[in-house]
Structure 1
Amino acid sequence: MSYIKLLLVEDNVLNQKLINLTLSKYGFEIEVANNGKEALDKLKDNHYDIILMDLMMPVMDGLETTRLIREQEKETGSRNIIIGLTANTYDADRDKCLKGGMDEYMTKPFDIKQFGQIVSSFGFEMSKV
């Protein structure tokens, strides 16, 4: 079985544990970054199939991190799938995510069914391990 490499960029330890526990059952290999700066550092040395990016974090928020990732991609020619993650359910937040360079958006609490629909739209297959 091949694992899907996912970078979870989330500052809340409880959310990290919940998402990690949930996704590890579905064929994901997960690394965690506590903020955008840590995510950028991890991206220097690693490739991830999907980045799950919290919007509101200390040090560097999700929108700024996404903008910097997209700038780096112009130089490398690669493209990461970035899914925004936020507690806010406003349409304006969804628009902000998509206009900010994210590929998709989902709200907290983390919903495995919604996440499954999103990742399958990008051609990934989640399988129960």
Structure 2
Amino acid sequence: MSSIRMLVVEDDAINREIIYEFLTFGEVNIDLAADGLEAISCVENNQYDIIIMDLMMPKLDGLSASRAIRALGVNNSADVPIIAATARDPITELAHWQAAGITDYVHKPFSEDELWAVINTYV
């Protein structure tokens, strides 16, 4: 696998560590953010191949952060795949997520294989 750069945005430290562990192999470079504000700062300063975004976070939720990232106009922010990591119901909310800039989702709780199946669609 060629080197890919990911940003994981998750407010829960345990979930952040689990996702990090799922992703750490080979040529994967991972940055971590604890909320949407940190995510925006990361995207302003780095270019990512994938963003994994929790939707329910303090300070700035994942949908608001996704909209802001799309509007930045730097470091491929308009086009980077943003994958929601959420326990919310995709059947009733998917159109709302997509309108905010979410590309795809993985439903919590998810396995390493489930996460990589979604990621591999975009890398």
Output the TM-score relative to the length of structure 2.
0.87
Equivalent position of 2:10 in the other structure: 10
RMSD: 1.8
Separation in 1, partners of 2:29, 2:62: 21
The structure number with the bigger radius of gyration is 1
1:51 aligns with 2:45: no
What does the per-residue CA deviation read over 1:33-65, in whole Å, with 9 as the maximum and x for residues that have no partner? Answer: 000000111111111110000000000000000
**Is 1:80 matched with 2:59?**
no
Residues 19 and 110 in structure 1, CA contact (< 8 A), matched pair in contact too:
no
In structure 2, the partner of 1:105 is 105
Q: Percent identity?
A: 34
* Secondary structure at the counterpart of residue 115 of structure 2: helix
Matched, 1:70 2:64: no
Distance 1:3 1:110, change over 3 A: farther
Task: Report if the CA contact (8 A) 1:7-1:50 is conserved.
Answer: yes
Counterpart-to-counterpart distance in 1, 2:26 and 2:75 = 29
Cα distance between partner residues in 1 of 2:26 and 2:113? 11
Q: Does structure 2 retain, via aligned residues, the 8 Å contact 1:85–1:107?
A: yes
Shift in Å at residue 22 of structure 1? Answer: 1.3
- Equivalent residues of 2:11, 2:35 under 8 A apart: yes
Task: Provide structure 2 residue ranges, at least 5 long, that are not aligned to the other structure.
Answer: none
Q: Do 1:53 and 1:85's aligned partners in 2 also have CA atoms closer than 8 Å?
A: yes
Distance 1:26 1:109, change over 3 A: farther
Specify whether residues 83 and 5 from structure 1 end up closer, same or farther in structure 2 by C-alpha distance, changes over 3 A only: same
Q: For residue 36 of structure 2, what is the aligned residue in structure 1?
A: 36
Contact 1:98/1:105 (8 A) holds in 2: no
Q: Distance in 1 between matches of 2:62 and 2:19?
A: 17
Does 25-34 or 44-53 show the bigger shift? 25-34
